[in-house]
A = this chain, B = another copy of it.
Amino acid sequence: VARRPSGTPGLSLEAVVAAAITYVDEHGLDALTMRALAASMGVYPAALYWYVGSKSRLVSLSASYLLGDVYVDHLATPRWQDWLIETAQVMRQSMHQHPNFATVFGSEIAVDMTTATPFIESLLGVLADAGFSDDDVVDAYNSYTGTVIGWVSVELSHEPKAAGRDKDWQSDFQANLGAVNPVKNPHIARALPRLANRGYMMRWESGKTNPLDSSYTYLIESLVLGFERKLASRDAVS
Residues of A near any B CB (own CB < 8 A) = 53-54, 56-57, 60, 102-103, 106-111, 113-114, 116-117, 120-121, 124-125, 128, 134-143, 145-147, 149-155, 157-161, 163-164, 169, 173, 176-177, 180, 184-188, 190-191, 194-195, 198-206, 212, 214-215, 218-219, 221-230
Contacts and interface: CB of A to CB of B under 8 A. Distances in A.
A158 B108 contact: yes
Given A54-B163, A147-B150, 4 more contacts: A109-B203, A121-B187, A138-B199, A146-B150
Copies in the complex: 2
B191 A157 contact: no
Contacts of A102: 107
A188 B120 contact: yes
B56 A160 contact: yes
Contacts of A184: 121
Contacts of A155: 146
A153 B107 contact: yes
Contact of A226 (B103, B159, B190, B221): B221
A226 B177 CA distance: 30
Nearest to A122: B187
B194 A134 contact: yes
